[in-house]
Amino acid sequence: MPVDLRHVARALISVSDKTGLVEFARVLATHGVELVSTGGTRKALAEAGLAVRDVADLTQFPEMMDGRLKTLHPKVHGGLLAIRENPEHEAAMLAHDIRPIDLLVVNLYPFEAALAKGAPFEECVENIDIGGPAMIRAASKNHDDVAVVVDSDDYAMLVEELAATKGATRLATRRRLAQKAFARTAAYDAAISNWLAHELGEASPPLRAFGGRLAEPMRYGENPHQSAGFYLTGEKRPGVATARQIQGKQLSYNNVNDTDAAFECVAEFDPARTAAVVIVKHANPCGVAEGATLVEAYAKALRCDPMSAFGGIVALNRKLDADAAREIVKIFTEVIIAPDADEESISIIGAKKNLRLLLTGGVPDARAAGLTYRSVSGGFLAQSRDSAVVDEMNLQVVTKRQPTAEELADLKFAFRVVKHVKSNAIVYAKGAATVGIGAGQMSRVDSSRTAAHKAQEAARAAGLTDSLAKGAVVASDAFFPFADGLLAAAEAGVTAVIQPGGSMNDKDVIAAADAQGLAMVFTGVRHFRH
C-alpha cells in the first residue's frame, strides 16, 4: 500500500520560468529541504542567499554540450525512480550512492514561446527540452513516493500542504500533480511534433497529437447534463481563446463556440477597407454587413434577421465605439467581441452586467494556415483551415450576361459569408449586407427556400412590401446539383449567382440561369462547413 504522507528531504529544481521561484524555495528551506539545482536556476537561488547544491556535484559529472547533458544520470533518475521500502531498490541505492529525491520542480524550455514568436528552425530545436521531460516522467511514474511540480501556479498549494503536514506531501496531491505532469509533457511533445510535420510539409503525419491547457472549467457543455472545459492550445490567433474578457458572466460552452464562429466570419472583412459586423446564432451567421461605420454595418446586419439576432453574438472587425455600443445593447445580446473598445463604449456596455465583452487586440488573418479538428467515435479528423478567400479566386463568368460592378461586389461579399454558414448554405445579399440566409438543410433547394423565406420575413419586419431578396445576389457554398435550387433563388428575385461550379449538370444550371436572365460566376472553390 502506498504511504499517504511522504516527507520532503530533498528537492531538485530546474526551471526556465522563474516566476515565484525564490519565494517557493525559501519555504522549502524553512522545512529543512536540501535544494539541488542546475545552471541558471542554481544561480538565481544562490544570489538570493539560499544554500543550493549544483546537480554536477551530485552526479560527479560536469554539465556539457551547451547544457544538453546535465540531468540524464543514474544519480538523478535513480533518486526519482527508486521505490521507497523496496529492498532491491534500497540495496541498489546504497551500492551506488544514490540518494532519494522527494520533490521535482521543473518547467520546460520555452519551445512554444519560441514557435509563437516565429523563431528560426535552429532556435526552435535548441528550445526542445530533453532532460526536463525525462525527469518529469520518471517522477510522475513514481508518484507514490515523489511529488512533481511543472507549473508555478501550484507553488501556493504545495506551500499550504507542507505547512499543514510539517513538510510532507499527501498521496492524493502527488497523484494530481503526476496527472498534470504527464499531460504537460504530452502537450509539449504534441507542439513539437506538429511543428516538425508543418516544417516537413506533411499534411497527414502517421501520428498526430494535440494538447491544451485548461483556461477554465465550464458550468456545463452543450447541455446541462454534459461536463466541459475550455482548453488553450497556445496558438496566437486572435479570437475567443486569446481575448481579454472586460465584463460579463462566465462564458458558456455554446458562447465560446458561437463567438469563435462570429469572429472568424468577421475576419473575412479587412478593417482597413471597411467596417463590418457579424451577428451569429447557434454558430451560423444570421446577419452580416459592411458599412462606412460600425453602427451602420450593425443596423444593416440586424435587418437581415432581427428575430434570430435576439440572444446572439455580435462580432466587429474594428474598435467598438459608443454609437455602435448604444445600438447593440438595445436588444438582448450574449457576447460582443471586437479587436478593441473605447472607454465610452465600455461604460455603455457596463450597464448590462451579464453582457460579455471580449477584446482580442486584433483580427485573425483569414488567409493564415492552421489546423482544425473534430472528434469522431474512436478517433478524430484533422484538416487544414479553410483559408481560401474570394479575392484570390479565379472567377469565371459562365452565363451570357456579365454581372454589373455592383452585382460583382455583392457576389464577392456573399461568398465571403457563405464560407461561414453551415452546409448546405445559401446566402442572399444586397448592398454589402445579407438579406436572407439558409443554413444546414439536407438539400440545397431547401436552403434556397429558407433563405427566401427569411428575406420575406425581414422585409415584413422592416415594414416593406417587397422581399429583401428582390434585386439581390445569391451565393452557394457548393455547386447546384440541379437547376431547382437556382430557380428557387430566381423566384425570390435574385439577379446574379456565385457558386463553385463542378457539377455534372453545370450545363443545365447555366442554361437555366440564362433563361432567367441571371449573371452567374463560378469560383472553382467549394466552402463546405458541416
* Alpha-carbon distance values, 520 to 94, 163, 421, 479 (Å): 84, 75, 20, 12
282 is catalytic: yes
Residues in CB range of 345: below 8 A, 6 or more apart: 320, 321, 322, 324, 325
Residues in CB range of 426: below 8 A, 6 or more apart: 418, 436, 437, 438, 439, 444, 447, 448, 450, 451, 474, 475, 476, 477, 485, 489
453 is catalytic: no
Cell readout for 146 is 515523489
Measured over the CA atoms of residue 388, residue 389, residue 394 and residue 397, the dihedral's sign is: positive
Residue in 129, 125, 124, 78 with CA at minimum distance from that of residue 107: 129
d(CA 273, CA 290): 10
Cell readout for 182 is 504527464
Residue in 285, 265, 261 with CA at minimum distance from that of residue 434: 285
Asked if 489 and 411 touch (Cβ cutoff 8 Å), the reply is no
Residue 240, judged by CB atoms within 10 A of its CB (0-12, 13-18, 19+), counts as buried
Starting from the edge strand earliest in sequence, which strands make up the sheet with 147-149, in order? 53-54, 34-37, 10-15, 103-107, 147-149
189: enclosing H helix or E strand: helix 171-200
Q: 131: how many CB neighbours lie within 10 A of its CB?
A: 22
Write down the residue that cell numbers 454534459 correspond to.
226
Cell readout for 20 is 515565484
The helix, strand and coil proportions of the chain, stated in percent and rounded to the nearest 5, come to 40, 20, 40
Q: For 59-110, what is the HEC assignment?
A: HCCCCECCCCECCCCHHHHHHHHCCCCCHHHHHHHHHCCCCCCCEEEEECCC
Candidates 31, 141, 236, 453; catalytic one: 141
DSSP 143: T
Q: Are strands 213-218 and 244-247 parallel, antiparallel or unpaired?
A: unpaired
Candidates 18, 236, 282, 352; catalytic one: 282
Residues in CB range of 515: below 8 A, 6 or more apart: none
Residue in 347, 281, 284, 277 with CA at minimum distance from that of residue 319: 277
Cell readout for 362 is 486584433
382 forms beta bridges with 373
* Alpha-carbon distance values, 311 to 93, 207, 263 (Å): 65, 41, 16
Catalytic residue set: 141, 282
